[in-house]
């Protein structure tokens, strides 16, 4: 079992819809969870961090964490074509373990 698993994708949504990206992790002791966005051919950039159970909102992005289920998700509301990218889930601060990513395409 991989330490961090994400929906294999690709995920395609129409412009204006909600995109839902999911991630599960195996280490029950993990405390910190991150979402990175990676445009094609570019390096990842940090977009969200969460460590408490529940929801954390930042603009159109909402991260959700459920430690009991070992589950992290990222919701993108009002999806835009500029959101088209690969989204990487990472667990732990320092020496992070990454999932393989989910590629999102937002169609105009």
- Name the residues that contact other proteins, by CB under 8 A: 4, 31-32, 34, 36, 42-46, 49, 51, 88, 90, 93-101
Q: Judged by CB, which is closer to other proteins: 19, or 99?
A: 99
Least distance (Å) from other proteins to the CB of residue 4? 8
Q: For residues 15 and 82, give the distance between their C-alpha atoms in angstroms, rounded to a whole number.
A: 10
Q: Judged by CB, which is closer to other proteins: 12, or 32?
A: 32
Q: Judged by CB, which is closer to other proteins: 11, or 17?
A: 11
Least distance (Å) from other proteins to the CB of residue 2? 9
In sequence order, the 6+-apart residues with CB closer than 8 A to the CB of 11 are 19, 21, 102, 103, 104, 105
Q: For residues 3 and 53, give the distance between their C-alpha atoms in angstroms, rounded to a whole number.
A: 19
Q: How many other C-beta atoms can be found within 10 angstroms of the C-beta atom of residue 3? A: 14
């Amino acid at each position: 079992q991989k330490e961090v698993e994400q929906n294999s994708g690709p995920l395609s949504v129409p412009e204006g819809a909600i995109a839902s990206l999911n991630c599960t992790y195996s280490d029950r002791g993990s405390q910190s969870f991150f979402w990175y966005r990676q445009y094609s051919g570019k390096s990842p950039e940090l977009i969200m961090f969460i460590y408490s159970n529940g929801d954390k909102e930042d603009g159109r992005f909402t991260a959700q964490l459920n430690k009991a289920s070992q589950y992290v998700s990222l919701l993108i509301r009002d999806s835009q074509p500029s959101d088209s990218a690969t989204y990487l889930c990472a667990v732990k601060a320092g020496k992070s373990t990454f999932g393989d990513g989910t590629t999102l395409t937002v169609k105009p």
